[in-house]
Structure 1
Amino acid sequence: MSTHFMQQVLQDHIDAGHGSQTVWWDEKRIPLDSIGKRVTDLLDLRGRRAVVTGGAGINLGQACVNRLAGLGADVAVVDLSQEQVRQRGFSRHPSAPDAAGVAAAAAEKWGTKVVPIHGDVMDWDGVRTVMSEAAEALGGIDILVNNAADVVVGDFVTFGREEIDRSVRGTLTGPMYCTRAVLDHMLPEGRGRIINIGSEAGSSAMPWLTVYGALKAGLGQFTRFLGKELGPQGIQVLGVNAGSMWGPDRPLTEDRPETLYPRGRTAIQRYELPEEVANMVAFLASDAASAMNGAMIDMGGGMAV
C-alpha cells in the first residue's frame, strides 16, 4: 500500500465526520522514513542517549555498554561505587573495573560519550538522582537497559526473610524503581525504549533458582503489561531472556560439571557469550525494532525449547 493511498483513507475518514484522532493512521508515529533503508541504517544509534544499570558488570553489563556505544550511542554506565560495594558486603571480580574504568575504555574504543554514574538501583531517591544526572550528562535519555540485579540462589527451604527480601529488591524492585524514574524524562518527549534483562529461568525450572526464576517471570510480566500501558504514549518496553552465559568469572574445562551443563539444557549445546545477548539488546534499542512492544525475546540458546 502506498503512502498516497493511506493518506486518502485518512482523508475519507475525516470527510465522513469521524475526525482524525480515532483512526490508526498517524504519520508522526509510523516510521515512514525507514522505508527503503538498509537494516544496517536502522541499527545506527548515533544521537541516542542510553543508560545501562549494572554497566560495570564483567559479563552482560559491559557487553551492553560496548554494543550500544559501538553503534554510536552515548551511554551512562550506572553501577555501585567501590564504597557502596563494601557497604553492601559485595565483592567485585578481580578483573572487573568500576564504572569509571568501563566508561573510559568504551569511550576510547568507540569514540562516543560514555560517562560513569554511581548509584544504587534499590534506593528509590538515589535512582531518581541517577536518572537526573544521566539526563544532564547526556542531554536526555532515550534508552534504559535494566541490567543490574542482585539475587540469592539456593533451595527455597534454606531461605529466610533476608534472602527473600534481598532477591526481590535486587531482581524486581530495582528495575521498577529505575523504570519509574526514567519515565519522568521519557514521557515529556513522547518516546523512549526500556529494555529489561530477564532470564530463561523465568520459564524453565532449574535447580537452586526457584526465587530467581519466579522474580524473572515477574519481570517478564511487568514488561508485557507496561508495554501495553505505555505504548500509546510512545514508550516501548521490551526484554531479553538470557541463558547460561560464559564470562571471565566462569572458567571452562572438561572436568568441571558446569562446563557440561548447557550441553544438556540448550539446543546449541554450549554457553552463550554476553556479547551475543547484548546483540539483541542493541537490536531492541534500535529503529529496527520500531514495531515491537511488550515482548520478551529468548536468548538462551534454545533452553526453553
Structure 2
Amino acid sequence: MTRPYYWLGAIFVFFAAFCFAMKGIFVKLAFRHEIDAISLLTLRMGLSVPFYGLIAWRLSSQKDNVRFTPKQWLWVVSMGITGYYFASYFNFLAFHYITASLERILLFIYPTFVLLINAFFRKKAITKLQIGAVALTYTGIVLAFAQNVDSSQQKDLFWGSFWVIISGLVYAVYLVGSDKIISQIGAQKFTAYAMIAATVPTVIHCFVENGLHIGHYPSEVYWIGLVMALFITVLPSFALTEGIKRIGSGNAAIIASIGPVFTIFVATVVLEEQISALQIVGTLLVLLGVFLIGWKGNK
C-alpha cells in the first residue's frame, strides 16, 4: 500500500463524514416548508435510485459478474430495507422534535449497539478498553441530553430522542447483518442493490400515508431533495466504501467520528441553533468513546 493510496482513502472517508453530517441541516431546512418525514424521504430515495440503478446495471454487465443466489438476494433486500428505509425514516421523524446538533450526538450511540449485538449474538468478547469507551460515550450523551431537558430549542426532547435511539439500534442491526454479505458480493454492488430495495417500501409507505402527493411543495424543497440525493446519499455512500477499502473500517470509524463536530458548527451558523459548554463537553466525550472503539477495531 502506497502512502498516496492510503491518504486518498482518508480523504474519501472525510468527505463522506462531512456529507452525512449535513443531512440534519437539509432535513431541518426542508421541514420549514411543512413537508412530512416520509414525503421527504421519498424525494431523497426517488432522486437517488436512478444513480444506483445505473451503477447496478454497470456492475452486473461486467464480464466477471457473479449472479446472486436466492439467499443472497433475500439478505441484500432485507438489509437494504432495514438500513435505508427503517433507520432513515425513524431518523427523519426525530428532526420534527429535536435540533440537528443534538440528533447527531445521540445518533453516535450506534457503535455501542454494534458492540453489544456482536457480544450477545456473535459471542465476541468485550474488552476493558471497549467497556471504558462505552462508558465515555454514554456519559457524553447524558451530559448533552441533560443540558437540553429544559431547552426551548427542542419541541419534544424525549420523543425525538426515542426516534434517534431506535434509528441507531436499527442501523446497528443493519451494519452487523450486512457484514458477511458485503464480503461475498462486494461493497459497491451491495450498496446499489440495497438502496434500490429500500426505495420500494419507502414509495409504498408514502402512497399509503398521503397518496404519493409530493408535487405541491415549493421549488426549494425539490432542490433540497436533489442535493440530499447526490451529496448526502449517492456520493458519500460510495466514497465511504472506497475509503474503507483503502484504509480499513477501524481507521474509517475514527475519521467518521468527526461528523458531529461538522453538524454542530453548521447548525449554529445556518439554523442558528445554540450549543452550551456542557453540550460541547458531552460531544467530546462521545467522540472519544467512538474513537476508542474504532481504534480498538483497527488494532
- Structure showing greater Rg: 1
Normalised by the shorter chain, which TM-score bucket? under 0.3
Higher relative contact order (CA 8 A, sep 6+): 2
Larger strand fraction of residues: 1
Larger helix fraction of residues: 2
Q: TM-score, normalised by structure 2?
A: 0.28
Q: TM-score, normalised by structure 1?
A: 0.27
